[in-house]
Structure 1
């Protein structure tokens, strides 16, 4: 429970922060957030299940609220805090702005650190090799690249040794030459002791607050906490939590080549032969075992390829994807799956030992440099291929007959050569319950859009929290005066978005809602429609900034410049512009949503989810599509008011909000703008 002493401490810190925060305005919602989060994590509601689902509207100051509630309590209990976010933008805001401010003014003695995956860091020893031996690596494209300049920046601390702080971005193939992969950048080798990755990992031990992304959090939980502290010692704050189910689905999914595998397996055989001549006799037994496993893998994959070639004409007659209904695989593929999963796992275990032996030989400088670097690269490529096979066959081996738990499909790649197999879990509730919620000391999940149609039941189901008694839910509305600051207009239209004439009506109607003296954002549900409308409006003399015609950053800069000079500025964008886009003040006063953001269930995963609901007697449109669309609509409308002094209007050019039975529920889930519905 929260002691009186700790409550007083939190109140004192809050008072200090209020007096030092520029333009601070008292927010009842923020006070409520601090109090409720503190009660949840301290076990006031439930001694064991300390889990909170919190929806906090724009402007409530939730980052500061959860820091205030969680950090003092965690320090008092000698627990760690892990803050997980979905976007780089929020990570950077926390690490560069919010946490330093809180650390300075709270007077609390704590350290914080940003934790990134190994792939985000460079290996300085590999960078030195690039600089010392350009002849080993250089190609025509990068012969002129100045690796020494990068090395100087690292030594002068002008570059932190990670991909995100490079002054100019490196192409993917160039970055891969210096990335801190576990084979090259080995902690046991003293030359790598001061590499950025190992220095960053050393910080974790002393940090009290760790900032990560959702994917790294999941990877660490799945690997048994190799980086982050164990769940029972941790208070988790999962911000942007509405993304967690989808990110988890992606993380636990798998894909691998089902055809043309002999190409990389033959490369493996050549690399093994080279290793036999290079490595000491003590490693010979391991190398031969690894060679046997690769041969066994090859012999098991050959009949799979013959089976694939037989089905290819039927699967890909008129499309590039084929989904297996009810996750039922062709008989041969199903029969071979378990053995393929076992053999690929065995090959991975043996490859681990070979890589370790090779690393030891390199550390002791027993191998010629050029050959060992090339072989390390080959083994890295080989590991990636075998890992993909292992992950896919492990999912394909799972029983799906009584209940379907996965979406399974095959895809023909762009050049119509390889067939790629896919498997994706339909739900991640069990995984999240097992890895996170069952063991964590406390978990706070927050977002500006956590409910769908004003209900937490959908997110509870997706996250696996329906069975937890201790879960607390809280909705804290935004401090904005929505009726005074914003107006929602639904103009009368003749057509619905499903009709062919809708695009023509859009072209006729839109000019009325693009005022000369305002900053407008027009959101479309499809690229095709956006381009059609853009072309028609440009022919009428409109100047437009259209997504895809320049980088997002460049478009937003042009938009900002237009607004600065009080010129009309019109941004056209699709779904990706409806979330995470911050256009405060006069950068956005007129938001037009052309049609409700219904996702057409065309992806194999969406089709499989709908199929699973239908099998259980449900209605996928009501259970999946409407809640998802309502949530996207709330996110889109959230672009308009970003600060308490902002004003503007939202125009929705979709009559289904009035004509369909689900329309009123969607409207009622939106903030309480003043309404002008012309029906």
Structure 2
């Protein structure tokens, strides 16, 4: 329970923050959030099952609310607060703005840290090796050696933190990959690497009472048995942007691996073993011989699968432009089913031995001249370990028997050279989240501005597997914004539905009427193709447009801001990725146009498999999957308009289905309570 001392600490901290916030005025919604979140984590509703689903509308002050509610209690109980976000933008806001402000003004002392994956950090030793040994670089990378020189100097002078997010200059993906930390190059046991950015960052974690991570790192750490973060029973989790967690979980626990020509990379593994016999001490000989035996065994298991491909490919890929084939009900060819468990097991054993060998390579004391060769060996080990890991994860998923309805999506993808990659993805991560997180955590708050679907928490409860939790609390706090006074939703009369052939032409014809002069407009499209068609036609009519894909997102937004600052007309065109996480307050957005409801086309193997499973259970995929997903995206898109209490503007939706279809009214009713102007 919350002691009187902690309650008073929360009240005092809130009072301090009020005094520090410019133009502060009391928000009843924020007070309710603080009280409910604090009661949930303190076990006020259930002694052991401390879980809350919290929907907090735009402008409720959600971030400060959970910091106030959770940190004082966590410190009193010696628990670590782990805040997980889905987007880099929110992570940066928390680390650079919200948490420093809270710590400075709340009078509560605590340490905090941002935890990022290993690949977000540079390995300074690798960077130095490339500068010392330029022949390690490809010709393209050699042209960029001046960039590496700049980075090395910036690190030395402490002007760069050694991570991808604070790079002082632009570095392309290939060059970054060549200097990024990985477990093979950047071992903590090697003295040369102890001062590398990754290990320095990890050393700071143990001191911090508040850790900020992303969803993927949280899932990876839970799956690895808490290699980085404290055990769940010692953590109070705040999972912000929690509507992303189910999809993020599916992505993380999915797997893929190449099936074509396994001999090519397994031969490289054999050649590597031969090379290492020459350079490693005799104590590693047993491991090298074992690795070669496992390599041969894995090849003998993968060869029959490869041979079966020529027969199957002709049946699967019957159309010239077809790139994917999904296994209905996740039913694999019989041979693959028989081989799956043995392949997964053999790949895992080989990976374990390779990791031991990698440690031995790193431990060898070398002269500077021989480090060039060591770096090359570690690079090869890293690449081959990745191949083994991919095979292990894929075939482990393939080895799981599938009842009907299946709980996995399984498919193969074919590239232009007719090389095949196999994929497996869970349809739901509810059981996994239950085992790793919800049943283990001391407390867990899941929050977002869009958790309900069609005004109900049922959909997110089902996706997260929380329906049967005895202590689960739900709370919905609406935005304090004056939607009625500050905004209007306009539904102009449209002749065509978006699925009709004449819709794009009608869009080109009607859109100019809804792009007011000397205002900031954002036009959202459901398809990239349609956006380009409309952009070309409007430019021919004399419109100046900023179109997604024609420059970087940041460059487009900078141009947009410049035009708005000079009271010029500015029109941004974007697709789905512009409908969430885009913050355009004040005069940066006064006119939002949504061309059509963002229904996803269920063409991806994962979406098709999910629909199949719902149908198999006697359900309706359109009602159970498509409508909830679209309603959620529509709410997120409409959330772009009012970002601050004083903002004003209009939303124009050019999709007649909101009026003509049975689900239209329910979707409209999930949107903020703007005034409505329906022209039908």
TM-score, L = length of structure 2: 0.98
**1:37-52 matches, cutoff 5 A:** 37-52=37-52
Further displaced range: 16-25 or 472-481: 16-25
Tell me how far 1:403 sits from its aligned partner. Answer: 4.0
In structure 2, the partner of 1:326 is 329
Decide whether the 8 Å contact of 1:495 with 1:502 is kept in 2: yes
CA distance in 2, matches of 1:673, 1:486: 5
Residues 131, 145 of structure 2: 8 Å contact kept: no
Matches within 5 A, 1:403-482: 403-413=405-415, 415-482=416-483
Q: Quote how far apart the aligned CAs of 1:402 are.
A: 4.2
| Alpha-carbon separation, structure 2, partners of 1:205 and 1:30 | 31
1:660: which partner in 2?
Answer: 661
Q: Secondary structure at the match of 2:271?
A: helix
Alignment-derived partner of residue 486 in structure 2: 485
**How far apart in 2 are the matches of 1:369 and 1:547?**
45
- What is the match of residue 251 of structure 1? 252
- 1:185 corresponds to: 186
* Rounded Cα–Cα distance in structure 2 between residues aligned with 1:137 and 1:411: 32
**What do the CA deviations read for 1:178-204 (whole angstroms, capped 9, x no partner)?**
212111111111221111111100101
Q: How does 1:609-628 map to 2 (within 5 A)?
A: 609-628=610-629
Show the counterpart of 1:568: 569
Counterpart position of 2:385: 383
Q: Which moved more, 1:649-658 or 1:19-28?
A: 19-28
Tell me the residue number matched to 2:168. 167
The answer to whether the 8 A contact 1:278-1:367 is kept is: no
Q: Which residue of 1 aligns with 2:204?
A: 203
Where in structure 1 do 4 or more consecutive aligned residues deviate above 4 Å?
364-367
Q: Distance in 1 between matches of 2:344 and 2:616?
A: 29
Instruction: Please give the alpha-carbon distance, in whole angstroms, between the structure 2 residues aligned to 1:528 and 1:139.
Output: 36
Q: Is the 8 A contact 2:121 2:181 kept in 1?
A: yes
Once the two structures are overlaid, the 10-residue window that deviates more, 218-227 or 115-124, is: 115-124
Deviation at 1:242, TM superposition (A): 0.5
- Give 1:501 shift: 1.1
Cα shift at 1:85 = 0.4
Cross-structure match for 2:371: 369
SS at match of 1:455: coil
Q: Distance in 2 between matches of 1:510 and 1:24?
A: 39
Deviation by residue 1:561-604 (Cα, 9 ceiling, x = unmatched): 11111111111111111101111101111111111110110000
Partner of 1:355: 358
**Which residue of the other structure, out of 344, 348, 354, is the alignment partner of 1:345?**
348
Partner of 1:206: helix, strand, or coil? coil
Q: CA deviation digits over 1:53-85, x for unaligned, max 9?
A: 001011111000000000011001111000000
The residue that corresponds to 2:236 in the other structure is 235
Indicate conservation of the 8 Å contact 1:450/1:456, yes or no.
yes
Residue range with higher mean Cα deviation, 420-429 or 348-357: 348-357
Q: Report the CA distance shift for 1:571/1:149 in structure 2 as closer, same or farther (over 3 A).
A: closer
Find the counterpart in structure 2 of residue 600 from structure 1: 601
| 2:12 aligned with 1:12 | yes
Cα drift, residue 491 of structure 1: 1.2
| Counterpart contact for 1:33–1:62, Cα < 8 Å | yes
Per-residue Cα deviation, 1:390-445 (whole angstroms, up to 9, x for no partner)? 000000000003441100000002x3232000000000000000000001000000
1:522-561, aligned counterparts within 5 Å?
522-561=523-562
Q: Deviations over 1:135-172 (max 9, x none)?
A: 34363542452233322211211000111111122222
Q: Is the 8 A contact 1:361 1:367 kept in 2?
A: no
Unaligned runs of 5+ in 2: none
Q: Does 1:633 align with 2:634?
A: yes
- Is the 2:120–2:164 contact (alpha carbons within 8 Å) kept by the matching residues of 1? yes
Partner of 2:591: 590
Note if contact 2:120-2:163 (Cα within 8 Å) is conserved in structure 1.
Answer: yes
In 1, distance between residues paired with 2:399 and 2:144?
49
**Matched residues in 1 for 2:292 and 2:193: separation?**
30
- Three-state SS of the structure 2 residue aligned to 1:516 is coil
The answer for the alignment partner of 2:399 in structure 1 is 397
Give the alignment of 1:302-321 within 5 angstroms.
Answer: 302-318=303-319, 319-321=322-324
How far, CA to CA, are the matches of 2:403 and 2:31 in structure 1?
Answer: 51
Q: Is the 8 A contact 1:258 1:419 kept in 2?
A: yes
Q: Secondary structure of the residue that 2:206 maps to in structure 1?
A: helix
Does structure 1 conserve the Cα–Cα contact (< 8 Å) formed by 2:141 and 2:175? no
Residues 138 and 607 of structure 1: is their aligned pair in 2 closer, same or farther, counting only changes over 3 Å?
closer
Aligned to 2:516: 515
CA distance in 1 between counterparts of 2:546 and 2:149 reads 40
Please give the per-residue CA displacement for 1:453-500, whole angstroms capped at 9, x wherever unaligned: 111111111111111011111110001010001101111111111111
Deviation of 1:317 (Å)? 2.1
Distance 2:494 2:140 in 1: 59
CA apart distance, 1:30: 0.6
Does the 8 Å CA contact 2:521/2:570 hold for their aligned counterparts? yes
Aligned twin of 1:77: 77
Aligned to 1:31: 31
CA–CA distance in structure 2, aligned partners of residues 151 and 590 of structure 1: 46
Query: Residue 250 of structure 1 aligns to a residue in which SS?
Result: helix
Distance 2:296 2:585 in 1: 60
Q: Distance in 1 between matches of 2:330 and 2:35?
A: 47
**Count of paired positions:** 677
SS at match of 1:368: helix
Change (3 A) 1:343 1:668: same
Aligned to 1:21: 21
Name the CA shift for 1:210/1:596 in 2 (closer, same or farther; >3 Å). Answer: same
* Greater mean alpha carbon deviation, residues 159-168 or residues 133-142: 133-142
Task: Let me know the Cα RMSD of the aligned residues.
Answer: 1.3
Q: Is the 8 A contact 1:79 1:234 kept in 2?
A: yes
SS at match of 2:113: strand
1:335 equivalent in structure 2: 338
The answer as to whether partners of 1:520 and 1:589 remain within 8 angstroms in 2 is yes
SS in 2 for 1:158: coil
Deviation of the 1:367 alpha carbon: 9.5
Counterpart residue number, 1:110: 110
1:487-502 alignment runs, 5 A limit: 487-502=488-503
